[in-house]
Amino acid sequence: MELSKHFTLAEFTASSVAARYGIDNMPGAQTIENLQRLAAVMEDVRGILGKPIIITSGYRCSRLNKLVGGRPNSKHVDGLACDFICPPWSIPEIIAAMQNSAIPFDQCIMEFYNPATGDGWAHVGLGANPRRQVLTVNRMGTFAGIQI
C-alpha cells in the first residue's frame, strides 16, 4: 500500500525484531491515517534533502515498542514518528536542514550519532501543535539543539 509518492506502508512497518519474534506489526485504520500524514511530512523532508530516505524504524505496535526499549508514550506506537537516514547526508546535516526548513514537525532528534563512524539516525515526530523542538539524544542524556 502506498502512503505517499515515495513511501509505502511496508517501509513504515518493517521490523527484523518483529519478524524474529513473530509479532504482527500491522497497524489499524486510524494508525494508517497517521502514517499517511507522517509520509507526507517525510516527502517534504525528502524534498529538502534531495535524496531518497531510508526508514529504519517507523510504526511499532505496543509489544514491539516495548521489546526494542521504546518509551511507552512513543509516537512510533501511534504511527506519528519514524527514524531514518539519508545518505550521503550526515545525521547532523539532516537535523540542521530540518531545523532550517518550514516542515511542521513536533520533534526532530539526532539520536546516538557517532562522529567517528557516522552511525546514528534522525528521528522525526509529529504532534497536534508542532513545537519544532530540536534535540540530541546520546548516552549522556537528552540535550537541546544539535550537540556533537
Average of per-residue pLDDT across 103-131 = 96
Mean pLDDT of the chain: 97
User: Which pLDDT score, from 0 to 100, does residue 128 have?
Assistant: 92
Give the amino acid at 119: D
Does the domain at 9-144 match CATH 1.10.3720.10? Answer given as no
User: Which pLDDT score, from 0 to 100, does residue 49 have?
Assistant: 98
Does 148 have pLDDT greater than 90? Answer: no
Q: The pTM is what?
A: 0.95
Average of per-residue pLDDT across 41-56 = 98
Does 12 have pLDDT greater than 90? Answer: yes
In order of 50, 83, 85, 112, 114, the CA distances from 38 in angstroms are 18, 11, 15, 22, 26
CB 81 within 8 A of CB 124: yes
